Amino acid sequence: MRSGEIHAYPYDDFRGLLDGPSQMNLALQYRRAIDNRQMVLFVRDTDRKVFQSYSLALED
């Protein structure tokens, strides 16, 4: 992945990239997001080796 690029992954494809405990945490976060009308945004910084997920409210 080149610097400055943004890639989107479907949930199942992205979940498959994670280890077992991270998959379980993601599943919980995803379920909470659905229940609360939110979306989950995944951010991966390959240079700094940082991976974060954020739950964001959807507008009505």
Q: What are the pLDDT digits (tens) for 6-60? A: 777 788 888 888 899 999 999 999 999 999 999 988 887 778 887 788 899 998 7
Is 38 inside a domain boundary?
yes
Model confidence band, residue 2 (pLDDT cutoffs 50, 70, 90):
low
9-48 CB burial, b ≥16 within 10 A, e <16: eeeeebbeeeeeeeeeebeeebeebeeeebebebeeeeee
Is 2 inside a domain boundary?
no
Is 20 inside a domain boundary?
yes
- The domain tally of the chain equals 1
Is 41 inside a domain boundary?
yes
Is 3 inside a domain boundary?
no
What is the model's pLDDT at position 59?
Answer: 87
Structural domain span for residue 30: 11-57
